[in-house]
């Protein structure tokens, strides 16, 4: 994921937290985790996040299925592979 795409995605997600300046990130090796938002993300923003390369890693998918906006779960966080 390119830096500009990561920053753009964080900017989108930032607006969905009750305390946008709180601690909403985690990291492990080449993966950055953005915790579940406090409010549901609009369909348009979910589509944009997917376009940028963000996914929800813990959403149940069918075998071989890739994450898509239709799989969005407001209770799950997001993942960016860098």
Separation CA 77–CA 36 (nearest Å)? 4
Region 9-19: what's the mean pLDDT? Answer: 95
Region 49-56: what's the mean pLDDT? Answer: 96
The answer to whether 82 and 30 have CB atoms below 8 angstroms apart is yes
- Ordered by start, the domain boundaries in the chain are 3-81
Indicate the average pLDDT of the chain: 94
pLDDT digits (tens, 9 = 90+) for 53-75: 999 999 988 888 999 999 999 99
Question: Where residue 82 falls among pLDDT bands split at 50, 70, 90?
Answer: confident
Query: Residue 5, class by beta-carbon neighbours within 10 Å (0-12 exposed, 13-18 middle, 19+ buried)?
Result: middle
């Amino acid at each position: 994921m390119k830096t500009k795409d990561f920053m753009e995605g964080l900017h989108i997600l930032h607006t969905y937290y009750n305390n946008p300046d709180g601690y909403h990130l985690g990291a492990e090796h080449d993966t950055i985790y953005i915790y579940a938002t406090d409010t549901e993300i609009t369909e348009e923003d979910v589509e944009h996040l997917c376009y940028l390369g963000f996914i929800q890693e813990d959403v149940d998918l069918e075998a071989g299925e890739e994450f898509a906006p239709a799989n969005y779960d407001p209770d799950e966080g997001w993942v960016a592979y860098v």
